[in-house]
Structure 1
């Protein structure tokens, strides 16, 4: 039996797990937080609609409206990002309907997961800034990025970049 096939397959599985689990945790946890917050704010909706009747409390109504719009936009953006990731995987990683078990295919899949993980953790912030509200999933994305190794990888990359020789052109 050829051991290189087992070695390549083992590396592929490890890279798929290391890339996929943090991505799935970020998506599921952020969507759960947003759905729970949306449900809670919808339950308080009649109160905020009553706030629209008075000048002193009207800004609370508009804050509620912008928060609800931000939550809805975040869910729409999640659907778009997940569709984009599936399209990327289908075009770049799957060959003739089969997974590419090569090291390059596994590394590209890992990179796709990492890029989309960063995008997914920032989506609540983007939607909130568009709608003028605060992000609901920002706390979750901080926890996920803390434990997924993104910060450590960024520190290692910055350290390696600082050790590279700089431009020594004298002018």
Structure 2
């Protein structure tokens, strides 16, 4: 381990938290590791200090608590049954959908962009386009900050 400590910006810490959360959900889907073991395993990871630990645990606990709810939100926008999703895609969609539904303080574009970047890094070739499309539809149907957003149409009067 390096003796130099690397300072991590808060937003970068959330990026790492999202990556670790997706990896935890990937592992959970493949080998059904229990939540306590996942928490411990990821907390012991040598790079975990780069992550916003509180945010990682918030995502982890929130998704595990609401897995069926999140799947119910995701499913209508899929082109296949949810159980046919690749484990990486499913993990990314859980993280992104959890954030879209529960982290209203984070702009939806940031959430979608972070998910797309994770998909580019860990997903199948072109998978980031699929992730972008699904999360964009979820955001447009469930986020009030988009639903109530003024139209870009100049003919639409602003009141």
Length-normalised TM-score, structure 2? 0.29
Which entry has the higher C-alpha Rg, 1 or 2?
Answer: 1
Which structure would you say has the larger RCO, counting Cα contacts within 8 Å and 6 or more residues apart?
1
Q: Which protein has the bigger helix share?
A: 1
